[in-house]
């Protein structure tokens, strides 16, 4: 059995991980950390929930140099939620280490505050592409000391149309650097980007089946659009989720469903792109603190949402492809704990269900209420 130190991680860092209940590396960590500590470029493909964040965070922490002015590591990630999440993972570890200063840079957040923090000594920057480019164009951040560059969730970057921004950012990085690319899937355009900007990258691919979906029980509930809301309430009453994320297809549907749940007395809240940044952060915070029990969300807003204790994911509206299905249900059963994923299927959704079942190579159990 591999341990973090056997992969080359410092015993200091391993101790800190143990204090957080993390004892053994996951497969993607096992297969990338040794190369990353050698300073090699790595392209790692592994599903959501497999521990990709620590796979790059740990080598970064162990490779930070004491001296140096500007940021040494730059992590670019597609959404503010992910940026905040990575930052908080970094801070949890950094608390027990000395000399690690992380800054999150993302849109919707007060730029003056960011500027002030940038003036302090920061060695790790976690950023979304747009806001980082703002800073680069204003000359308020310099990337000339960056020796480690991470492109996190590269397939989502592509999906959100961030490729031009990414290229512009890369052009401002020192040529001598280590580049790490992490993604659930590697579409052609991501591969092309890697070929262009990485040096002899080592390819790591972790098979999906024994990772994300392993701890997740899946079921399908057949319904009609008209019955859906009542069936959902039945599900909530019967299954009594501790914490559940409920996915809707659109912002409007999420807002509407949340209002209906709230008016029936359910402890629910909404998370989607029509809300202000402050409002979204508040929704996530309250959910994390278990002040709300149900979070009604759209795909984009819930990307990367990693909340401990999510016992149920409910696809109120079925996702239209297998990848988002996996992303969504990956919100539960994270790293070893059991989760339940329930998907509502109306007659017109059957084709999507068939495609998902074909891709996952198995039929999902039907459940009668
Ligand atoms: P990904 O980026 O692959 O979707 P994350 O890095 O967000 O996944 O990790 C998913 C969850 O697994 C997080 O809650 C993280 O703290 C946890 N985790 C990561 N590595 C380990 C490990 N080695 N042991 C236990 N839990 C882990
Ligand atoms: Mg991730």
| Ligand 1 atom nearest to 53, measured from its CA | 6
d(CA 306, CA 87): 13
- Say yes or no: CB of residue 50 within 6 Å of ligand 1: yes
Query: Dihedrals φ, ψ of 179, to 5°?
Result: -115, 130
d(CA 13, CA 306): 22
**Which ligand lies nearest to the CA atom of residue 156 in the structure?**
2
d(CA 226, CA 217): 26
Determine which residue's CA is closest to atom 18 belonging to ligand 1. Answer: 51
- Say yes or no: CB of residue 306 within 6 Å of ligand 1: yes
- Say yes or no: CB of residue 333 within 6 Å of ligand 1: no
Among 21, 31, 54, 182, residue to substitute to test ligand 1 (most atoms within 8 Å of Cβ): 54
Write out the E strands in the chain.
42-45, 73-76, 102-105, 124-127, 148-151, 178-183, 202-205, 216-222, 244-247, 268-271, 294-297, 312-315, 339-345, 365-366
| Ligand 1 atom nearest to 85, measured from its CA | 7
- Say yes or no: CB of residue 25 within 6 Å of ligand 1: yes
Rg, the chain, Cα only: 21
Determine which residue's CA is closest to atom 23 belonging to ligand 1. Answer: 25
**Which ligand lies nearest to the CA atom of residue 79 in the structure?**
2
pLDDT, mean of each 10-residue run, the chain (369 residues): 93 93 90 97 89 96 88 95 92 92 88 75 94 92 95 91 95 97 92 95 77 76 96 95 94 97 97 87 89 92 70 95 83 69 96 90 88
**Which ligand lies nearest to the CA atom of residue 306 in the structure?**
1
Contacts of 137 (CB under 8 A, 6+ apart): none
Determine which residue's CA is closest to atom 20 belonging to ligand 1. Answer: 51
Determine which residue's CA is closest to atom 9 belonging to ligand 1. Answer: 51
Determine which residue's CA is closest to atom 16 belonging to ligand 1. Answer: 51
- Say yes or no: CB of residue 335 within 6 Å of ligand 1: yes
Tokens 């996702």 -> residue: 319
How confident is the model at residue 215, as a pLDDT? 72
Burial class (CB in 10 A: 0-12, 13-18, 19+), 169: buried
User: 147 to each of 129, 264, 308, 318, 363, how far by Cα in Å?
Assistant: 18, 53, 32, 42, 46
Determine which residue's CA is closest to atom 13 belonging to ligand 1. Answer: 51
Among 53, 204, 243, residue to substitute to test ligand 1 (most atoms within 8 Å of Cβ): 53
How confident is the model at residue 66, as a pLDDT? 83
- Say yes or no: CB of residue 26 within 6 Å of ligand 1: yes
- Say yes or no: CB of residue 54 within 6 Å of ligand 1: yes
Contact by Cβ (8 Å): 38, 44: no
**Which ligand lies nearest to the CA atom of residue 154 in the structure?**
2
d(CA 30, CA 191): 22
How confident is the model at residue 180, as a pLDDT? 98
- Say yes or no: CB of residue 208 within 6 Å of ligand 1: no
Q: List the one residue out of 338, 331, 335, 289 whose CA is nearest residue 313.
A: 331
Token pair in block for residue 273: 């792109």
């Amino acid at each position: 059995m591999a341990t973090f130190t056997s992969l080359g991680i410092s015993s200091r860092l391993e101790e800190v991980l143990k204090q957080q209940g993390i004892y053994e590396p996951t497969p993607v960590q096992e297969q990338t950390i040794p190369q990353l500590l050698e300073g090699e470029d790595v392209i790692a493909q592994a599903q959501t929930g497999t521990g990709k964040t620590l796979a790059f965070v740990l080598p970064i922490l162990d490779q930070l140099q004491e001296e140096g002015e500007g940021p040494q590591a730059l992590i670019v990630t597609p959404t503010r939620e992910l940026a905040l999440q990575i930052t908080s993972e970094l801070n949890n570890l950094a608390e027990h280490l000395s000399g690690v200063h992380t800054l999150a840079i993302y849109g919707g957040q007060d730029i003056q505050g960011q500027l002030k923090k940038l003036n302090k000594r920061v060695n790790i920057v976690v950023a979304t592409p747009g806001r980082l480019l703002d800073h680069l164009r204003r000359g308020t951040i310099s990337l000339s000391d960056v020796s480690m560059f991470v492109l996190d969730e590269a397939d989502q970057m592509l999906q959100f149309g961030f490729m031009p921004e990414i290229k512009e950012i890369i052009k401002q990085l020192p040529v001598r650097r280590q580049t790490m690319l992490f993604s659930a899937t590697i579409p052609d355009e991501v591969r092309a980007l890697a070929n262009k900007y990485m040096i002899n990258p080592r390819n790591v691919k972790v098979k999906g089946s024994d990772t994300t979906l392993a701890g997740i029980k899946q079921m399908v509930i057949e319904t009609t659009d008209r019955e859906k809301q009542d069936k959902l309430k039945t599900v909530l009453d019967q299954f009594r989720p501790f914490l559940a994320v409920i996915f809707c297809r659109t912002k409007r549907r999420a807002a509407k469903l949340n209002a209906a749940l709230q008016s029936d007395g359910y402890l629910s809240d909404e998370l989607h792109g029509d809300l202000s940044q402050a409002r979204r952060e508040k929704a996530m915070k309250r959910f994390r603190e278990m002040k709300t029990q149900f979070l009604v969300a759209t795909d984009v807003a819930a990307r990367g949402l990693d909340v401990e204790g999510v016992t149920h994911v409910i696809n109120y509206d079925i996702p239209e492809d297998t990848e988002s299905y996996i992303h969504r249900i990956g919100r539960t059963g994270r790293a070893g704990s059991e989760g339940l994923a329930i998907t509502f299927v109306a007659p017109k959704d059957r084709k999507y269900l068939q495609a998902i079942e074909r891709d996952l190579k198995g039929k999902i159990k039907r459940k009668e209420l």
